[in-house]
Amino acid sequence: MGRTIIIGLDGVPFGLLKDLADRGVMPNTKGIISDGTFRKMFSSLPEVSSVAWSSIITGKNPAEHGIFGFTEFPQNTYRLSFPNFNDLKTPAFWETNHSKRHIVINVPSTYPAHELNGVLVAGFVALDLEKATYPNSMLEVLKNLNYATDVDSSKAHESIELFLKDLKRTNEARIAVYRELWKEEWDTFMFVFTGTDRLMHFLWDAYEDPDNEFHEEFSSYFRRIDEVIGEIASKINENDTFLMLSDHGFEKLEKDVYVNRILKKAGFLKLKNGERIDFSHIDYGTKAFALDPARIYVNLEGKYPRGSVKPEDKESVIKGVEKLFEDLKENNQKVIKRIYRKEEIYKGPYFDMAPDLVLLGSKGFNLKAGLTSERIFSKGIFTGKHSWDDAFLLVNRKNCESLIPENPNVCDVTNIINLLTERESSK
Ligand SMILES: [Zn+2]
22 and 100 belong to one structural domain: yes
**DSSP-assigned beta bridge partners for residue 192:** 8
Cβ atoms 199, 13 nearer than 8 A: no
206 and 270 belong to one structural domain: no
331 and 345 belong to one structural domain: yes
25 and 171 belong to one structural domain: yes
* Dist. CA 334 → ligand 1 center (Å): 23
Q: Is the peptide bond preceding residue 74 cis, with omega within 30 degrees of 0?
A: no
Q: How far apart are CA 416 and CA 400, in angstroms?
A: 10
- Give the domain range for residue 275: 255-378
Distance in angstroms between the alpha carbons of the first and the last residue of the chain: 10
Q: Which helix (H) or strand (E) holds 343?
A: helix 342-345
Q: How far apart are CA 122 and CA 105, in angstroms?
A: 6
The CATH code of the domain that includes 400 is: 3.40.720.10
236 and 365 belong to one structural domain: no
**pLDDT surpassing 90 at residue 43:** yes
Q: Which helix (H) or strand (E) holds 361?
A: strand 357-361
Global pTM? 0.96
Nearest to 198 by CA among 128, 284, 106, 321: 106
**pLDDT surpassing 90 at residue 424:** no
* Dist. CA 211 → ligand 1 center (Å): 24
13 and 59 belong to one structural domain: yes
Final residue in a domain of this structure, among 339, 358, 378 = 378
Count other Cβ atoms within 10 Å, centred on residue 196.
Answer: 23
Cβ atoms 380, 342 nearer than 8 A: no
Q: How far apart are CA 370 and CA 312, in angstroms?
A: 29
* Dist. CA 248 → ligand 1 center (Å): 9
**Mean pLDDT over residues 262-291, rounded?**
91
The predicted pLDDT at position 224 comes to 98
68 and 161 belong to one structural domain: yes
Q: How far apart are CA 242 and CA 184, in angstroms?
A: 18
Write out pLDDT tens, residues 219-229. 999 999 999 99
Write out pLDDT tens, residues 2-29. 899 999 999 999 999 999 999 999 999 9
Cβ atoms 113, 129 nearer than 8 A: no
Range of weakest confidence among 98-112, 178-192, 368-382? 368-382
* Dist. CA 250 → ligand 1 center (Å): 8
The gap from C-alpha 409 to its chain's centroid, in whole angstroms, comes to 13
* Dist. CA 49 → ligand 1 center (Å): 7
* Dist. CA 343 → ligand 1 center (Å): 26
Nearest to 149 by CA among 95, 113, 187: 113
**Mean pLDDT over residues 310-320, rounded?**
98
Write out pLDDT tens, residues 345-358. 999 999 999 999 99
* Dist. CA 97 → ligand 1 center (Å): 30
The predicted pLDDT at position 360 comes to 98
**Mean pLDDT over residues 190-203, rounded?**
97
Cβ atoms 98, 117 nearer than 8 A: yes
* Dist. CA 233 → ligand 1 center (Å): 27
Average pLDDT value over all residues in the chain: 95
Q: Which residues surround ligand 1, an ion (CB under 5 A)?
A: 197
The predicted pLDDT at position 72 comes to 95
247 and 332 belong to one structural domain: no
Q: How far apart are CA 216 and CA 212, in angstroms?
A: 8
The predicted pLDDT at position 273 comes to 77
Q: Which amino acid is at 6?
A: I
The CATH code of the domain that includes 326 is: 3.30.1360
190 and 336 belong to one structural domain: no
* Dist. CA 85 → ligand 1 center (Å): 18
37 and 185 belong to one structural domain: yes
How many independent structural domains does the chain possess?
Answer: 2
Q: How far apart, in Å, are the Cα atoms of 42 and each of 64, 116, 215, 340?
A: 18, 29, 28, 15
68 and 173 belong to one structural domain: yes
158 and 291 belong to one structural domain: no
**pLDDT surpassing 70 at residue 317:** yes
**pLDDT surpassing 90 at residue 372:** no
* Dist. CA 198 → ligand 1 center (Å): 6
Sorted by sequence, the CB contacts under 8 Å of residue 142 that are 6+ apart come out as: 121, 129, 133, 177
* Dist. CA 305 → ligand 1 center (Å): 32
* Dist. CA 8 → ligand 1 center (Å): 14
Nearest to 144 by CA among 133, 153, 154, 152: 133
Cβ atoms 292, 300 nearer than 8 A: no
Q: How far apart are CA 269 and CA 139, in angstroms?
A: 46
